[in-house]
Structure 1
Amino acid sequence: MIVTVTPNPSLDRTYEVPALDRGEVIRAVAERVDPGGKGVNVSRAVAAAGRRTVAVLPLGGAPGALVADLLHAQGIEVAPVPVGGATRSNIALAESDGVLTKINAPGPELSGQEQEALLETVRRCSRGADWIACCGSLPRGLAPTWYADLVARAHAAGARIALDTSGPALRAALREGPDVVKPNAEELAEAVGRPLATVGDAVKAAEELRGLGARAVLASLGADGQLLVDDAGAWHGSAPVRAVRSDVGAGDASLAGFLIAGGTGPEALASAVAHGAAAVQLPGSVMPSPGDLDPAAVTVTAEVPMDRPLTQPAA
């Protein structure tokens, strides 16, 4: 069973448009409404794989009620923490050439009582969990050390923690030794304070995060695949993608695939790559089901292409 924690969930509306022309009336060719937030997406991918998952998240107002209904419809157990503010609504505009424009609302501010209720709900739901995945940005009211506190409490209870966040929240949590952190290339560059131009640069940055406390680093490099760096060494995984339809939630699908496969070693990396490659070929933030995966197309190697330039260098 995998518990996910999403401190700043959302109701996500995705519109597929031919092109984005400022100042013009744009007619969408398709639209979707999905429950959003990085941890929510992890739960959706875990549920799509037929595994049990519990989504812990603060919910408020009509958008929050709709998020809960949509999650229940996908077979996800919801552990809501009622809050006074309304859950945020986000908009994504997906153009036919694969370019995605996102508008993310800030979300409600959580009171001290609501923050403690969130931590207590995580504690209650994590009994017997294989993993706790803590994902996404922190809402207003939560200090950058909130994730660090959660990791410390979870470890004290004997749980394993996967952390997918960035900036000060990531740096503060590293000292508590999360079992795996999952940055993308931009977040990895931000964490070490320098640009990344090659796959080798990303490996070195991942090793630095391990030096700061992370036990393993699962890094998404976009078109250049994924890296896993842990005590046993470094692996690189990749898979061909026919066409990118939407990359919303692809990293979250990757993390779900990694945890579903045990959360350690090259086999888990292969599962992460398969899930991420499938997700980018689906509309909106649709999470892949087993029928969408192509494990045979995945390549995982310990011979990491250190000199390969990143398709999109991270500043």
Structure 2
Amino acid sequence: MILTVTPNPSLDRTYEVPSLDRGEVNRATGERVDPGGKGVNVSRAVAAAGRRTIAVLPLGGAPGALVAELLDAQGIEVAPVPVAGATRSNISVAEPDGTLTKINAPGPELSSAEAESLLETVRQQYRSGDTDWIACCGSLPRGLGPSWYADLVARAHAARARIALDTSGPALLAALRERPDVVKPNAEELAEAVGRPLTTVGDAVKAAEELREMGAGAVLASLGADGQLLVDGSGAWFGSAQVDAVRSNVGAGDSSLAGFLIAGGRGPDALASAVAHGAAAVQLPGSVMPGPADLDPSGVTVTTRIPVDRVLTEPVS
């Protein structure tokens, strides 16, 4: 069972349009409403794979009630933490060429009591079930300081839990001191963490190694169209897959993390699963998570021969 923690969940509306024309009336050709937030997406991908998952998240107002309803409909157990503020609503506009325009609301401000209740709910859920991993994902809402994830990691490790962390900025740097088992940055977050640009795959490998020196047990780094890296104590691997057309990249990184954890969360086989899930996700609309029928493991390549000189398709300055 995979337990997910999403401190700042959302209700996500995705509109597909032929093109986005600023200042004009744009008519959508498709519309989806999904429960959102990085940890929520991990739970959705785990559930789509037929595995049990519990989503811990603060929920408030009508949007929060709808998030819980949508998750329940997808077979996801919800451990809600009631909060006074309303859960945020986000909007994404997807164009046929894969361009995605997102408007993310800030979300409610959590009180100190609500922040502690969130930590306590994670503890209760972990102790009550046979949990393989705790996946802590996404930005922190107002009211939660940068050390909140670090506190969660410390408490989880004290209970002998394995932690996967997908966040960025000060929250990531603070949590590294508590040695999370896996961190999953994208290229931009990786560059921000080490404080310098990333131009090549080799630059990304070096940055991942630095995150390990800072405390991460393993680094699963998404490099967009260029593939994914896994760097841990036993070596480094590079994974890639052919993608014919990108429909939406919403939740693709979250799907990758789910695939990695489903496959055990360690080594090249888990990386191959991460790549397969991420490649499948970008070919689906909105934030739809791939199921087994959407995966193409035969199209995935994982190797220790990392193309260190390859220039990233989207270098990070």
After TM superposition, is the score higher than 0.5?
yes
Deviation at 1:264, TM superposition (A): 0.1
CA distance in 2, matches of 1:124, 1:158: 14
Deviation at 1:174, TM superposition (A): 0.2
Is 1:10 equivalent to 2:10 in the alignment?
A: yes
Deviation at 1:97, TM superposition (A): 1.1
Post-superposition CA distance 1:222-249 (Å, at most 9, x none): 0000000000110000000010000000
Give, as a single letter, the amino acid of the residue that structure 2 aligns with 1:300. Answer: V
Give, as a single letter, the amino acid of the residue that structure 2 aligns with 1:159. Answer: A
Deviation at 1:258, TM superposition (A): 0.0
| Aligned positions of 1:81-92 closer than 5 A | 81-92=81-92
CA distance in 2, matches of 1:303, 1:125: 41
Give, as a single letter, the amino acid of the residue that structure 2 aligns with 1:161. Answer: I
CA distance in 1, matches of 2:208, 2:224: 16
Q: Which residue of 1 aligns with 2:106?
A: 106
Post-superposition CA distance 1:259-290 (Å, at most 9, x none): 00000000000000000000000000000000
Give, as a single letter, the amino acid of the residue that structure 2 aligns with 1:118. Answer: L
Deviation at 1:124, TM superposition (A): 0.6
Task: Tell me the C-alpha RMSD between the 2 structures.
Answer: 0.4
Post-superposition CA distance 1:132-188 (Å, at most 9, x none): 000000000000000000000000000000000000000000000000000000000
CA distance in 1, matches of 2:125, 2:279: 31
CA distance in 2, matches of 1:266, 1:239: 14
Q: Which residue of 2 aligns with 1:170?
A: 172
Percent sequence identity is 83
What is the DSSP-based 3-state SS (H/G/I as helix, E as strand, rest coil) of the residue aligned with 1:101? strand
TM-score of the superposition, structure 1-length normalised?
A: 1.00
CA distance in 2, matches of 1:193, 1:285: 30
| Aligned positions of 1:1-315 closer than 5 A | 1-127=1-127, 128-315=130-317
TM-score of the superposition, structure 2-length normalised?
A: 0.99
What is the DSSP-based 3-state SS (H/G/I as helix, E as strand, rest coil) of the residue aligned with 2:312? strand
Deviation at 1:96, TM superposition (A): 1.1
5+ residue gaps, structure 1: none
CA distance in 1, matches of 2:239, 2:32: 30
Deviation at 1:307, TM superposition (A): 0.4
CA distance in 2, matches of 1:312, 1:242: 18
Deviation at 1:99, TM superposition (A): 0.4
User: Paired residues, what number?
Assistant: 315
Give, as a single letter, the amino acid of the residue that structure 1 aligns with 2:22. Answer: R
Give, as a single letter, the amino acid of the residue that structure 1 aligns with 2:6. Answer: T
Deviation at 1:126, TM superposition (A): 1.1
What is the DSSP-based 3-state SS (H/G/I as helix, E as strand, rest coil) of the residue aligned with 1:84? coil
What is the DSSP-based 3-state SS (H/G/I as helix, E as strand, rest coil) of the residue aligned with 1:118? helix
CA distance in 1, matches of 2:97, 2:112: 44
What is the DSSP-based 3-state SS (H/G/I as helix, E as strand, rest coil) of the residue aligned with 2:153? helix
Deviation at 1:314, TM superposition (A): 1.1
Give, as a single letter, the amino acid of the residue that structure 1 aligns with 2:23. Answer: G
Post-superposition CA distance 1:179-198 (Å, at most 9, x none): 00000000000000000000
CA distance in 2, matches of 1:112, 1:23: 41
What is the DSSP-based 3-state SS (H/G/I as helix, E as strand, rest coil) of the residue aligned with 1:263? coil
Give, as a single letter, the amino acid of the residue that structure 2 aligns with 1:125. Answer: Q
CA distance in 2, matches of 1:12, 1:212: 34
Which aligned runs of 4 or more in structure 1 are off by greater than 2 angstroms? Answer: none
CA distance in 2, matches of 1:77, 1:305: 41
CA distance in 2, matches of 1:89, 1:209: 33
What is the DSSP-based 3-state SS (H/G/I as helix, E as strand, rest coil) of the residue aligned with 1:25? coil
